[in-house]
Each structure stands twice: as C-alpha cells, then as structure tokens.
Structure 1
Amino acid sequence: MVNKIRLIFLVMLLIPQGIIYWMASDSLLTTNKNFSQIEAVSLASALLLILGMPSLTIQWLVEKPLRNMRELCSQVKGGNYHKLLPLSSEGRDGEDEMVALMRDMNWMARQIEKREKDLQQAVDDLWQSRNQMQVMAMTDPLTAIANRRCFFDTLEQKFKALVCQYQPISLLIIDVDFFKKINDTYGHQIGDQVLLELAKIIQDNTRGGDLVARIGGEEYGILLPNNTSQEAISVANRIQKGIDSHEFLLDANRISVTVSIGVCTLPQPPCCFDKEKLYNYADQALYHSKNSGRNSVSVYDPDNHSIQKVA
C-alpha cells in the first residue's frame, strides 16, 4: 500500500514540476541561475514529500483506526462489550471501506455479547434443571422429605466420615402399626394424609443436622450423626409419644395412630464395621418392638448383640 501511495504522490508532484520545466524551457529562465536553484530545491522537496507523506497519510488514514480496532478486539476478548468504536449512528451509502469495517466490528462485538449472554443463560437454566432433577431424585413425592435412595446414600457418606473420626452414629427405623388397616378402613387418600402428618411430627422432633427419610410405604428412617445411645433413645421416645398423643382428624374421621421404633447406636464404630449391619440391627430392634405389643421403642446393643425394650 505504501508503494502505491508513493507512486500516486510521485505522479502528483512530478507532473507540475514537468509542466513548469517544459514551460520555462524556451524562455530566458533556463539561463537564470536562481531559477535553476529554485527548480532543484522544488524537485528535492517533491522527492522528500514522496518519501514522507505516504507514511504520514497511512498513519492518519489507517493506523489510528487499526489501533482502535485492536483495542476493541482486546476488550471483547476480555469480556468487555461496552466501549465500541466511535462512529455515527447511521451508516451512509458511499462511506469508505475503513468506516464500514469499523461499523462491522461494532456489530460483531454486539452479536458476541448477545450470544455470550444467551449461552450463559442456557448454562444457568441447565444447571437449575439439573439441580431440580437431583432434588426430585432424592425426595419422596408424597411427604417431600428424603426418599430411600437419599437415605442410604447419606448413610454411606456419614458412616464413612464418622467411622474415620470414631464418632458415634445412631439409626432409628420407624414403622406405622396396623397401617394396612387404616388404608382398608378409610381409603388410601386418608392413609396418605396420615403419612404426611407423621413426617411432620418426626421432623419436629429431630435436629437440623439429622436426616429424616421415608424408606418404605409406611416406614421411616432417621439418621442421627454424633448422637449417643441415650440421645437417640430420647429422640425415639419423643417421636413415639408425640404420635401416640396426636389427634389425627382427617375428613371428619378421628384416627388413632401408633408407631414401633427400632434404635441402634455405634458409640465408636470400628473401621471394619459394615453399615448394612447398623441398618440390620436397627431393623431387628424394630421387629422386637412390633413383637412386644407395638407402640414401643426397642434398642439393639451391638456390644453383646441383645435387644431391650425401653418404652
């Protein structure tokens, strides 16, 4: 480009010089010493302009806009889309190529910003949907508490953590007494309402760090990390008595509901102890309560493998 501009300047400056020299060739000026000197200086000045003006012209016409465009590209690369190239608001027919290029770069910057926002929104929506699906996968649809999968996943995680720290862990399993009779007598809709109220009573008698889950049709599990045996028994007694004294008045039906509870606590679980055994011990204690007249709490002692009814 520089050579082309130099050629244009050469033609523009040497043509006048040639005309002046041609007009003066047949006159007395050709013998004038001062005229010859002026002509030489003029020619030298024209040559200097030919050498210097193209660079200045390119810097004025091209380098400054290019510098602005590079700055815009750097800002877009860094995620800044607010400072665009300074241009008039409306494009005009016949505007030069550099201005048109700058206008196109502004348009591309705005498009990149829009598509980046759309992409970020799509990612946010995807994460939100993923989180909602995870919650749904871990939640019981009837009672809105944790489901069986969530319960056993958490039991495994908590069990591993507490075993490594030699911290106590307690497990309660709760089963509704004669729940089939409630369904057969009042219908499954009333039975579902009973399960909902039971979930609320159980949650009201546990701590924020405890996990309450529906692990079967009418069976609930409570994971009590860092709870001693006496603390777990106290929780079980509160739940058993709270349900026994609660008035279930559903669709004008006064229903008596009781539960049987099995408790097992590992005060300092050894690393070789299996989490399935903890669940099995609590389950054995539950069936001991059921076989001992129901509406009671039984505790499995893992040290001597004995079960005792405590309430």
Structure 2
Amino acid sequence: MINEFNFHELKAAERLPSPSGTALAIVKLVQRDDATMQQVSQLVKIDPALSGRILRFVNSAGFGARRPIANVHDAVIMMGMQAVRNFALSLSLIGNNSTGNCAEFDYAAYWSQSLAMSVAIAAITTRERTVLPEESFTLGLLSDIGRLALATAWSEIYGECLTMAQDEQLIALERERFAIDHNALNLILLDDWGFPQIFLDALKLSLEPETTDTSRVARFASQLAFARQIARYCLADEIYRASLLTDLKTQANLHHLGETAVINFVDEVIEEWHEWGKLIEVNTNIQNSLPKATSAEAIFSGLDLLLVDDDTIMLTRLSKQFTEAGHRVEVCRSGESALQYVIDHKPQMVITDWHMKNMDGLALCKTLRTSGFGKNLYLIMLTASENEDALIEALDAGIDDYLTKPVSLRVLLARIRAGHRIVLLQQALEKESRDIQHYTAELAAANRRLRIMANTDILTKLPNRRYALDRLEQEWATAQRCKRPMSILMLDLDHFKSVNDTFGHDVGDQVLSHTAKLMKEASRTNDIVCRLGGEEFLIIAPNTSGNTALLLAERIRSSIEKNQYKELAQHQPITVSIGVASSMDDKLGWNELMKLSDQALYSVKRSSRNGVQLVTC
C-alpha cells in the first residue's frame, strides 16, 4: 500500500508513460517561446511515420480540410503547433506502451478503446465546435491515461486490483492501494504535459452526473461523456451493443442527433476507428461481451485451491462448486499425495478434511507449517467435530480457519473470500520484501559506482589523488607490519604547458590519456598508477626495493619517450621526469617518503629533465 502519492518522485524515477524520440523533441521545442512552425515542420519530417499520419489526419473527414494537403509544412500550419505537439505525444505513447509488465492489464483493448474515444470526440466536436477537433482527438486518446500509468508504475499491485475489483470498486481500491485513483492521475499527467485547463476541467466534469450548466466547459464535458459511451459501443459485441443502445440514444438527444441519425453517426465513427487502427497500428478488432458479474463470488475469484478428502462424493461436489465460482481446483484423496502436490505446485490455499487414513488433516497441517514451502499457505480445516478441544488442537497445528460438517457452501465461499484477502496481502508483503531487496541491491551497486567515481580520474580512468593518498597510507601500514620494502614514483610530464598552448586543451587531454595508458602498460600488476592532477602522476610500488623501483621508473620513462602521441609529430617530444623514493624501515612516515620522491622529481626537472633519480632512506 502506498501511504502518499508522489508524482514527481515517480516521474524522476521514469516509472510513468512518457514520450520519446521525435515526439519528445517536438514537445521540448513547442515549450520554447521562440519556436516556429518551420522548426516544428522540420522535426516532423525527420519521422516518416509521423509525417504520414499527420497528413492522413488533416485530410480526414473529421478534420474537414477544404482542399487536399500534400506537404508536411502545410499540414502543420493547418493543425497548429499545439495540436501537432499533442498528436506526436499521443502516437509516441502508443508506440512505447503497446505492451507492458502488468499481465492483468489488457493493453490492446486499452488502446483500442482509447482510439475509439479519440475518433468519437473528434467527430462530435466537428459537428458542434467547442474545441478544435484536432485537439479533442488527442485528449480522447489520452483521456484514460491514468490506468496505463498505474499499470506501468506498479504492475503487480495494479494487476491484483484488476483481479479483485470491477469498475465500480476499482476507484476505491486504487485509492486504498496507491493514495490516488486513475481519474485523478489522468488530470495530473495531462497537466504535466501542458494540456489547456479547459481540457482538464471538462474531462473531470465528464465523469460526474449531468448538470444544467451551459458553459463551454460543461458542453465539452457532455461531449466527452457521449464519446466515452460510443467508445464502449465500438468495442462491444452485438449482444452487448443492444444493451448499450438505449443509453447511447439518450445521450445523442443532448447533441441533437435523432434515432436514425445517431446510428449513422456511430457507424461512421466505427468505420473511421478501423481506418485509424490500420494507420497507427492499433488493433480495432477487439470486442468485449457482456460485463462481468459483480457478485462477491466473481470479485474474489481465481485462487489456486487444493481440496484434500478421502470422500469422493465430497470432493466432486466441492470441486464443481469452487470451479463454478472461478477458482482453479485440484483434488487429493490422502494427506501424503496432498503433501507431494503442495511441494510440486505450490497452491495458494488448502482445504482439508481432518479424519483421513494414514496421514490425516491435522498431521498434514503440522507438516506443512514446519516446512519452508508450507509456511505461507492458507489452511482451512473441515471436520464433523464441534468439540472445543479439537478446535484448539487444530489451531495449534497451524490452521487459519475451521468449519464443521455438514458444510454450508455459502459460508465456505465467504471464508475463502476472507482467506483470499489474506493471501493477497501476504503476496503484497512478499513483493514488497522482494522490492526492498532489489532496491537495496540497486542502492549498494549505486554506492559502489559512486565510490568508484569519487576515486577515479574522469579523463585517464586512473585512480585519483584521493584514492592515491588513502591507498598509500594502507600500503605503508602493510609494509611496516610485514617488514617489507616500499617505493614511490612521482612523475611529471616535461613541457606539457606548451602542448596546451600550441594545440589546445582537447589535444592536451588526449596526450594525458595516452601517457597514462603507457604508464599502466609499463607497470607491473601490483603497482598502483594514479593521477594526482594536471600532468603529475604517482605510482605506488609495494614490496619493491630502491634498485627495482629505479628499473621500473626507467622502463616507464623509455616507453613514454619512444611512443609519442601521433598528433604531436612536429612538436617537441613528450618526455617524463621521475623521482623515486624507497624505504626499508619505519624511520619515516609515508608522507615523508612522498616528499622525498617529490624532491627527487624536481631535482630531475632542474637538470636535464627526461630522467629518473632515486632517493633511499
């Protein structure tokens, strides 16, 4: 359950539907005060699919252009900058969200109904202008975007909501689980995408009972409500359409459409809907039958049940009743076979008789509760005994509920529904636990990346000064503890300033990267090569005596001199001066050793450069 809805947090985490590609570029462009039609046209032309769909739209009957429009620029001018932006936004959202992770959410039916809504409202506003049809088309397509947003942001939890509730219960369940419902989220998203306030007000009003208000907002809201009914009619099969037709005709009277006219009008919308489906690749051949039952049995259906009883008649009777109630039922005639089934298939609920041969129901419950695979099972015990001691014994064995025979089917179904709530809560907690583990792992990985970034030089990818000093202290402590030698190499590129002055800092950066690579290649596996800053580098050589460190320094110096950066062929060669300090005892600290290597370096710099010098202590 979400305690407080935070839109900006979800948006920052990129868990909400959002545009991409050309659509995103158009959205950002139109937000600028200096954006022009020419610039918008150029962006549209980049995307051939978008160009074709815009041309198709402005030449459609709903748009009502007086002459055929043959080029994108004219189409953009005809539609207007905001309409093009909204149109591109809508198509991008369809392309990015045609499928998703919420198994219970029917993405194909969602987009099919959204397209029907958009075609219907465009046709309605063409007849009675409250807003521009090209703008109402986009609002219709995104008028129920809150459902998609919830399915995208919380796919598993929202899937559970869709399983548990029909439309009339869904709003309350959404508010309980997410601290917001899909209608409120519709308005937040559309507002965030820059839709006009009249659209938001009308969309909100369209979900409320009819009013006597005659304002423009109220008239547009009435049109949206009518379009929503037409969209439902489009997706309905012939039987369901007959049940919708009466309400449809009643709404049509409010929009000056007679009985015959409304049938013709809806037929035209359906034809246009199918045409648009082909154009933007939305399946419009999806039909819904009569609404699902809203009885309590239907609301809480769909459990994986295991029935355990050695009475074949009882198994047959209950199995038939539970299947009709929408559950998936398996049966076992003994405690042993039930135990094996639970191990293999992991049902959500077990309903078992108490008295059976060999392993009875009580022994089965005890075994399940002491095993890892049965700890979270919901267990219901059936027994002919009404003895109080028997009930206590059963509860102590780990059962969740207890019914006496003969069993009332209505009471048992009610107990199953109560158990279903517990099962769903348990699943939600398990998911939350998995999410926490997942987020913890992600956080740990992010922290590792941050530590690496904090200790890495961005340019050369070598450890930076912070890492170098920390590691130097660690290696020094190890050397002192194990009585081993340790050496430090301080390196400085000769005449590097002239490279930056002559070729610029970009080339200078490339020279530094090239030199760092040579240092790394010439060093040994255990040597730690770091960049202190600018053209200064440090190499920590653990367990290395002065003479060995001197050989290492010479190898590095020679490699840099021989392997010049190719862009500097006509320039003074890049060379390096290296100061080496080595210690075998604890007379000095690591910082004093570093100062000695620095002094040796500047001794080389003051003389001929391109050389190495060793100081031992």
Q: Shorter chain as normaliser: what TM range? A: 0.5 to 0.7
Counterpart residue number, 2:464: 147
Q: Which residue of 2 aligns with 1:198?
A: 515
1:220 to 537, 540, 560: 537
Partner of 1:250: helix, strand, or coil? helix
Partner of 2:79: none
Structure 1 stretches lacking a partner, 5+ long: 1-57, 303-311
| Distance in 2 separating the partners of 1:253 and 1:64 | 91
- TM-superposed CA distance for 1:97, in Å, is 4.7
Which one has the largest radius of gyration? 1
The AA in structure 2 aligned to 1:273 is L
Distance change >3 Å, CA 113–CA 242, structure 1 → 2: same
Q: Who is 2:87 aligned against?
A: none
Give the C-alpha shift of residue 109 in structure 1.
2.7
- The answer as to whether partners of 1:69 and 1:85 remain within 8 angstroms in 2 is no
Question: What SS does the aligned partner of 1:184 have?
Answer: helix
Are positions 1:238 and 2:555 aligned together?
yes
Deviations 1:207-257 (A, max 9, x none): 222110000200000000001111101110001111111121128766610
| Pair 1:113 & 2:430 matched | yes
User: RCO higher in 1 or 2 (8 Å CA, sep ≥ 6)?
Assistant: 1
SS of the equivalent of 1:215 reads strand
The residue that corresponds to 1:136 in the other structure is 453
Q: Structure 1 CA distance, aligned partners of 2:479 and 2:473?
A: 10
Runs (4+) of structure 1 exceeding 4 A deviation are 63-72, 80-83, 251-255
Q: Which residue of 2 aligns with 1:281?
A: 596
1:27-42 equivalent positions in 2, closer than 5 A: none
Q: In structure 1, what is the Cα distance between the partners aligned to 2:364 and 2:423? A: 14
CA contact (8 A) 1:260 1:289 kept: yes
SS in 2 for 1:294: coil
CA contact (8 A) 1:162 1:169 kept: yes
**TM-score with structure 2 setting the length:** 0.35
Conserved 8 A contact 1:159-1:169? yes
What is aligned with 1:52?
A: none
Decide whether the 8 Å contact of 1:264 with 1:282 is kept in 2: yes
- Aligned with residue 103 of structure 1, among 412, 420, 431: 420
Q: CA RMSD in A?
A: 2.9
Partner SS for 2:544: coil
| Pairs within 5 Å for 1:6-155 | 68=365, 71=368, 84-85=377-378, 95-155=412-472
Would you say 1:296 and 2:611 are equivalent positions?
yes
Contact 1:247 / 1:255 at 8 angstroms: preserved in 2?
Answer: no
Amino acid at match of 1:155: L
Give the superposition deviation at 1:301: 2.5
Structure 2: where are the runs of 5+ without partners? Answer: 1-352, 381-408
**Distance in structure 2 (CA, Å) of the matches to 1:253 and 1:153:** 40
Distance 1:257 1:93, change over 3 A: farther
Q: Tell me how far apart the structure 1 counterparts of residues 557 and 569 of structure 2 sit (CA, whole Å).
A: 24
Local SS of the residue matching 1:239: helix
Return the alpha-carbon distance in structure 1 between the equivalents of residues 527 and 535 of structure 2. 19
Deviation, 1:82, is 9.1
CA distance in 1 between counterparts of 2:418 and 2:365 reads: 12
Q: Deviations over 1:21-74 (max 9, x none)?
A: xxxxxxxxxxxxxxxxxxxxxxxxxxxxxxxxxxxxx967xx9699849956x6
Return the offset for 1:98: 3.6
Change (3 A) 1:81 1:197: farther
Mark the CA change 1:143 to 1:82 in structure 2 (over 3 Å): closer, same or farther. farther
Distance 1:137 1:93, change over 3 A: farther
Letter in 1 for 2:580: V
Q: 1:218 to 1:257 in 2, by over 3 A?
A: same
Q: Structure 1 length normalisation: TM-score?
A: 0.67
Change in CA separation of 1:81 and 1:240 when aligned onto 2, cut-off 3 Å: farther
Which residue pairs with 1:264 in the alignment? 581
Q: Give the counterpart letter for 2:475 in structure 1.
A: K
CA distance in structure 2 between the partners assigned to 1:155 and 1:85 by the alignment: 59
Q: Which residue of 2 aligns with 1:11?
A: none
Match of 1:229 among 539, 546, 555: 546
> Take 2:431 and 2:603, find their aligned partners in 1: how far apart are those partners?
66
Check the 8 A contact 2:368/2:374 in 1, yes or no: no
